[in-house]
Amino acid sequence: MVSTHPTGVQLTGSQYLPQRLNLNENVSPNQELLPLTAKVNNHDCLEIGGCDITTLVQQFGSPLYILDEETLRLACQQYREAFQQYYQGASQVLYASKAWNCSAVCAIVASEGLGIDVVSGGELYTALNAGVSPDKIYLHGNNKSRSELDLAITSGVTIVVDNWYELKTLVEMVHTTSQPIRIMLRLTPGIECHTHEYIRTGHLDSKFGFDPNDLNEVFGFVSQQSTLNCVGLHAHIGSQIFERQPHRDLASVMVQWLRDATKYGVNVTELNVGGGLGIRYTESDDPPSIEEWVKAICEVIQAACAAENLPLPKLLSEPGRSLIATACVTAYTIGSSKVVPEIRTYVAVDGGMSDNPRPITYQSVYRAVVANRMSAPITETVTIAGKHCESGDILIKNAQLPKNQPGDILVVMGTGAYNYSMASNYNRLARPAAVVVANGEANLILRRETYQDLIRQDCLPERLKK
């Protein structure tokens, strides 16, 4: 049966294209399903960044991550410009690189004036290697190793201290530097938000941050450490959030903490309100725009500071998903299929949970199109299965597609966040390649792994060799 829109219009893959006339039109990338440059070309194929997806698959293979540089840059610009417009003090947007940390992504966002939020020594090393200035890098983590802390100290980045153990460890490590260590304190605000249980980080029962009941003791301890330069406070309430009120509540709470810090002589000049703005994974998702989110944060911070008669701090935020998720798609090649009469039809692709673990981990929902036949009518409801030896390796349940066949190119939308960064070699599958596209040109930013890469770290004891 051919699927139709409520207006009676026959549905095709084109329904997912960005609804705007040109790149200068005011649109928030996190509210779109496909990258902003997506269109259907004269060959009835999906095109992104001026590059035909089917041609990219022929050139680079599949699965293939395809990052649209224009969409990523526009999201960076909207965050930066919105803070400049709505906040009367200084501000700095940080890219939460755990969403997708690689050299090219770090270099692109840094060129747009953003800093980088990192959560491990590996992410920190990558950002530094990409040329990001250390004074714009902030290291997070609830259990940083001494080697990670040492790299952060010697590099001169800001350390976001998560707990007492880390705080006291830093005091012991002061001999490694002649300058005070620049830190922020991460606090747990106790704010609930409607998102997946695994990605709520602001409620009291969380592994992250100092408990608010310990604030006075923490401020008192820090005030006595001449080797620590506590410049700010940090809090984060979760991810993929559509509500604005929890962020307003967070901003208000953080200004109260700022007031409390001054009582102990802790000169806090920065507040980091985290990130968490959601994106549109499906038609029913309705996240606020980047501008709306920033405006809400700025208004409440400024009002709270005025009420407390406090100078405006430098305001930091750390979006990740809302910057990069919709800027990327993943292209797969369709292979086998299986019809289970009166139950479902499985359509298998050449990737799965190793390149996108979010469906099996978070029950995440995605949309897809057949990229080589964009105008074909949607006639089937199928289940997109991965190729792994795992019954739960299902990328999309009840995907609405045109009649498909082996060799078709399936494009899954919104895969820029937590796809490559959470990818694995499960079943010893090689991780996919990634390209960045712009102005009709595609450049490799991550090489496809080979079988030799898979065994590179293997060690075979002499006694086992034949």
Known catalytic residue: 102? Answer: no
CA distance 33 to 15: 10
Closest CA relative to residue 94, chosen from 65, 154, 130, 135: 135
Burial of 397 (0-12, 13-18, 19+ CB in 10 A): middle
Residues 459, 462, 464, 466: what is their CA dihedral angle, to the nearest 10 degrees?
120
Please spell the DSSP secondary structure of 242-256, one letter per residue: --SHHHHHHHHHHHH
Rounded to whole angstroms, the Cα distance separating 39 from 51 reads: 10
Residues 228, 220: Cα–Cα separation, whole Å: 13
Q: Which residues touch 86 (CB under 8 Å, ≥6 apart)?
A: 294, 295, 298, 299
CA angle at residue 140 from 134 to 146, to 5 degrees? 85
Contact 331, 66 (CB under 8 A): yes
Which of 102, 298, 389, 459 is catalytic? The answer is: 389
Structural contact between residues 152 and 159, judged by C-beta atoms closer than 8 angstroms: yes
Q: Under a CB-based contact definition with an 8 Å cutoff, are residues 272 and 316 in contact?
A: yes
For the annotated catalytic residues, the residue numbers are 389
